A and B are shown apart, each in its own frame.
Chain A
């Protein structure tokens, strides 16, 4: 398989075919939370509800810990994992703040000031240099 040129982009998990394959059940678990019935089942007994999806143990653990970036690393896609965040009552922008490791106020301020700059954020080599 050809080298994945996009793997050089820092702080980014491109949801490609490999990640989609390993993350399939994790993502289907997350999207199932769009219905109130399933949200109720997760609230009532999280372990029992998770057990209905054949996920890996590391994926289950990342769900328990709400380790948002780890979920992406294990094949989760943000449009899916954000449904789990919504289940917790976390709005999207606060989830973004948490994933990027800053406070909600700092993140909001960054967005109002024009967002995260592209300068210094193009390549993993730039992050290593920091």
Chain B
């Protein structure tokens, strides 16, 4: 049977991708960001997933204001890196896993989560930056280590789904994957955050104390984390910090009790606090 073995929480700051694409990760500014991911890349190699289920948000790339699905599941054979206005990132095309994706769609919808199904979709930095962070440098002609099933969550137009809804969806995704016949090692990534505000007079807001509390709760008190209200995210972690609800999809798909194997936190990357955690299921 397919099994979710681990979850990864990770920021998807576009500047991190640009730093990798421009090969400037050893600059003083970037060193402390990337040092915290050295363990993670080694851990990825040692735990080699067969599939990554990746929860992220699109930044008006696949979905402009004309169509805003709350949850959109990528069921296509492949997902091309999108041109976000300065050319597509020089990274491999993302290969999907159509059989498992369609199984998840069917299972989760009958479990009362009304997903949008995407049979054509380009993916932006929200998806490719976490892959680059966790899998290291991969050029355009290379390939990612394994297929990826993307789940795009609306966090651009308020309100995003509640933290609890995301958490419950994670549990439904777990049930779907648990009921898939093939033996597969599946990892789930929840991306975005941590505290940041990109807009208006309060731009640049960072709340390290709140972020660290969130990391603690994601690891040890997921029920508590799932009850955090939208107002608290926006007020305490910034208007764009609300995207941390996506980490709860990841957390919902894991066991209640998990083993934290790695954590990394650094301020800043551009306008954002970088947060990262690796959690393993204990079986």
Q: Which of B135-143, B180-188, B213-221, B230-238 contacts A (4 or more CB under 8 A)?
A: B230-238
- Chain B: how many interface residues by the 8 Å CB criterion? 40
Answer whether A122 and B235 are a contact pair too, CB < 8 Å, given A28-B66, A107-B204: yes
- B283: Cβ under 8 A from any A Cβ: no
- Measured CB to CB, the closest approach of chain B to A114, in angstroms, equals 5
Answer whether A12 and B268 are a contact pair too, CB < 8 Å, given A77-B157, A115-B205, A118-B207: no
Check if B158 sits within 8 Å of A16, measured CB to CB.
yes
- A17: Cβ under 8 A from any B Cβ: yes
Which A residues are in CB contact (< 8 Å) with B234?
A: 6, 9, 12, 14
Check if A72 sits within 8 Å of B268, measured CB to CB.
no
Interface residues of B in 173-204 (CB under 8 A from A): 195, 197-204
- Measured CB to CB, the closest approach of chain A to B205, in angstroms, equals 5
Which B residues are in CB contact (< 8 Å) with A59?
A: none
Complex formed: what's the CA distance from A69 to B86 in Å? 24
Checking A14, A79, A101, A114 against B158 with a beta-carbon cut-off of 8 angstroms, the contacting residue is A14
Which secondary structure dominates where chain A touches chain B? Answer: helix
Check if B236 sits within 8 Å of A15, measured CB to CB.
no
Interface residues of B in 230-283 (CB under 8 A from A): 230-231, 234-236, 239-240, 267-268, 270-271, 273
Which A residues form the contact surface with B (CB < 8 A)? Answer: 5-6, 9-17, 20, 23-24, 27-28, 31, 33-34, 69, 72, 77-80, 82-83, 86, 92-93, 96-97, 99-101, 107, 110-112, 114-118, 121-122
A-B contact pairs, 28 of them (CB 8 A): A5-B231, A12-B200, A14-B158, A15-B156, A15-B157, A16-B158, A20-B65, A20-B157, A23-B65, A24-B65, A28-B64, A28-B65, A31-B64, A34-B83, A69-B200, A78-B240, A79-B60, A79-B198, A92-B198, A92-B270, A92-B271, A93-B271, A99-B201, A101-B201, A111-B204, A115-B195, A115-B204, A115-B273
